[in-house]
């Protein structure tokens, strides 16, 4: 072997024996029956499903890309409906047939100033993802107060936060702590 060839072989040897980084591991494919079960569970939880709702869910759940063909199959079988159910969101949306009349009724209902207070662990805690305002951590001690479907006050880690147009902080505080004014 010529002298130059030996030098080249020595220079190349470390490259050949160098440890190669492992190829990125892919998530194993989820069984189609399991995917369908997960898709229907999410629909039963929310009534309507779209990619932005999946952001609040656990990381181990299948991606929207995996769930989308399942929703298309369910729609083709007539078990669910596809369409635009929530205004202002892009992408495909799917709903249970029984959720559609409820959504229409909610849209048509006049604003009456009614309050609803929920826990931070409630699936309706969509603050900071779909609804305006800061995210409310999904902890049992946290509370969100809605007026006519819009968040107006929160209690996070014992601290109270009120919306910019909060006119009666004492009443909002009473609702958050479970003593609504009569």
- Residue 173: the pLDDT is 87
For the record, the structure tokens of 98 come out as 């029984």
Residue 81: what are its φ and ψ, rounded to 5°? -120, 145
DSSP string, 11-30: HHHHHHHSPPPPPPPPPPPP
Tell me if 93 sits within 8 A of 48, measured CB to CB.
yes
Rounded-to-integer distance, Cα 68 and Cα 49, Å: 10
Rounded-to-integer distance, Cα 53 and Cα 69, Å: 17
Rounded-to-integer distance, Cα 135 and Cα 26, Å: 31
Tell me if 134 sits within 8 A of 127, measured CB to CB.
yes
- Residue 134: the pLDDT is 84
pTM attached to this predicted model: 0.69
Rounded-to-integer distance, Cα 159 and Cα 142, Å: 9
> Exposed, middle or buried: residue 40 (CB in 10 Å: 0-12, 13-18, 19+)?
middle
pLDDT tens-place string over residues 27-59: 667 888 999 999 999 999 999 999 988 887 888
- For residue 115, the cross-strand partners are 147
What residues in the chain have per-residue pLDDT under 50? none
- Residue 109: the pLDDT is 85
């Amino acid at each position: 072997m010529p002298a130059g060839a030996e030098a080249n072989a020595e220079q190349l040897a470390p490259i050949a024996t160098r440890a190669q980084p492992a190829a990125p591991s892919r998530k194993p494919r989820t069984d189609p029956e399991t995917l369908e079960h997960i898709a229907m569970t999410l629909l039963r939880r929310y009534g309507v499903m779209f990619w932005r709702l999946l952001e609040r869910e656990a990381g181990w759940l299948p991606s929207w890309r995996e769930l989308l063909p399942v929703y298309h199959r369910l729609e083709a079988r007539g078990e669910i409906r596809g369409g635009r159910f929530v205004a202002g969101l892009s992408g495909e949306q799917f709903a249970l047939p029984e959720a559609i009349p409820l959504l229409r009724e909610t849209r048509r209902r006049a604003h009456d100033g009614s309050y609803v207070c929920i826990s931070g662990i409630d699936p309706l805690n969509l603050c900071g993802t779909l609804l305006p305002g800061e995210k409310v951590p999904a902890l049992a001690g946290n509370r969100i107060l809605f007026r006519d479907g819009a968040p107006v006050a929160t209690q996070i880690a014992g601290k109270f936060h009120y919306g910019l147009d909060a006119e009666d902080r004492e009443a909002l505080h009473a609702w958050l702590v479970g003593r609504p004014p009569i």
